[in-house]
Structure 1
Amino acid sequence: MTRKVFFSFHYEPDIQRAHVVRNSWVTKKDREQAGFFDSSVFEAKKRTSDDAIATFLKAGLQGASVTCVLTGAQTAYREWVRYEILQSFKDGRGLINVAIHTISNLKGLKTTAGANPLSLLGGEVKGDTLHFKEHNGSKWVWTSRVKSMPLAGVAYDLGGRSNFTFDQLFPSFEWSSDGGYDNLGTWVEDAAQAAGR
C-alpha cells in the first residue's frame, strides 16, 4: 500500500534538514510526500488571511495517512505547525514526531534540540466532547484555531485519559540516534495502523 506522509516543520531554519528526511522517504517504493517545501507558495498565502492559510494547509493534509512533525530548535511554538498537528489529530491521521536537530544543513551545521511540540498540545474530555489545548510558553490555554470535536469521533485509544498531552499518545524519535533513514518507514506504518489507516 502506498503511504502518503505530510511533513510538518518550521520552514526557514529547517528546510534543508527536512529535505534530508523527505528525500529518504520518497526514494523508496510505494511512498508519497505532502507538505510545503517551496516557501513561495506558503508566503503567498500568508499575504491573504489566516483563514486562507488554514484552508490551504487543510487541503495539503488531504490524502495523507500520517503527519510527521520534523522538530528543530524553534518548531514547537510555530502557530501553523501546531495547526497541522491539531488538524491531523482531528482528522484521525497517524502522528509521529522526529527530532532533526542532528541533521547538518548545507553549511555542515547542526542545531540545538527544541521542545517536543507533542508535549505542548493536548486535549481534555468534558462530557462527550474533546477540547484542544496548547501551552503558550507560560500556561495552558484552549486552542482557538481548531475547534473541539465529539469524543466519539476520536480515532485513537486515549487509554482512559480525560486530560492528556499528545506525547502521551504518539511516539517521538531522533533522526540520527534512532536510525531514521532505515526506520522511518516502520515508524510511519506503525502510526498509520495505530490510527486505523
Structure 2
Amino acid sequence: MPRKCFYSFHYAEDNWRVAKVKNIGAVEGQPIVSGNEFEAIKAKGDNAVKSWINENMVGRSTVIVLIGANTAGRKWVDYEIEYAWSQKKALLGIHIHKLLDSDENPTAKGKDPFAKWTIGQQKTPMSNFAKVYDPVGADSKSVYASISDNIENWIEEAIRLRG
C-alpha cells in the first residue's frame, strides 16, 4: 500500500511536472487543486490557505517538496515545511527541473528549500533530517524513471531520519 504524502511545490511553474510525479502511483498524494481552485482559496485570505494545507496534511506521513527553479523561499512552501515539522511529519525534497513542462521544456535547478531552517537550541540544520534528492539522468524520461524507482525508498529514509 502506498504511503500517504503531501506534495509541496510552486504551482504556477511546476504543476505539470508535479502531475507527472503524482502519476507514478507509488505515493498517495493529496488532491492537486487547479490554479482557479487555489486562487479561490487564496481570495478568502491567508487563514483559508493555512486551513486547506493543514486539512490536507492530516493522515500524511511525509511532505515531499518537489523542487523547481523557484520553489525555495515561497511563502506557502515555507509554511508547509514549518507546519509539517511542527506536526512531526517526515520531510524530503526532489529536484524536478529536468522533467519537461507542458511545452516540453526543462527549467533551472532550484535551491534547497530546507537550507534556511535549523532545529532546536543547537540550531541543527534541517538538512540533517530532510534530504534533497537530485534524480539521475540526462533527460526527462530517465529522471522520471529515477524518481519512480527511488521515491518509495526516499520516503522510508525520510521517515527513518525523522524518527
**TM-score of Structure 1 vs Structure 2, range by shorter chain:** 0.7 to 0.9
CA distance in 2, matches of 1:170, 1:109: 28
Q: TM-score, normalised by structure 2?
A: 0.87
Specify the code of the residue in structure 2 equivalent to 1:183. Answer: N
- Give, in angstroms, the shift of residue 124 of structure 1: 4.1
1:121 pairs with one of 117, 123, 137: 117
1:187 pairs with one of 136, 141, 154: 154
Bigger strand fraction? 1
Corresponding position: 1:110 with 2:106: yes
Moved over 4 A (4+): none
Give the match for residue 140 of structure 2. none
Give the match for residue 164 of structure 1. 124
Specify the code of the residue in structure 2 equivalent to 1:19. Answer: A
Supply the RMSD in Å over aligned alpha carbons.
1.7
CA distance in 2, matches of 1:32, 1:73: 24
Structure ID, larger Rg: 1
CA distance in 2, matches of 1:106, 1:94: 30
CA distance in 1, matches of 2:123, 2:51: 28
Corresponding position: 1:91 with 2:51: no
1:79 pairs with one of 75, 78, 81: 75
1:69 match: secondary structure: strand
CA distance in 1, matches of 2:109, 2:83: 25
CA distance in 1, matches of 2:54, 2:123: 26
In structure 1, runs of 5+ residues without a counterpart are: 126-161
Q: TM-score, normalised by structure 1?
A: 0.73
Check the 8 A contact 1:174/1:180 in 2, yes or no: no
Bigger helix fraction? 2
Check the 8 A contact 1:8/1:35 in 2, yes or no: no
In structure 2, runs of 5+ residues without a counterpart are: 138-142
Check the 8 A contact 1:18/1:70 in 2, yes or no: yes
Give the match for residue 174 of structure 1. 134
State how many pairs are aligned: 156
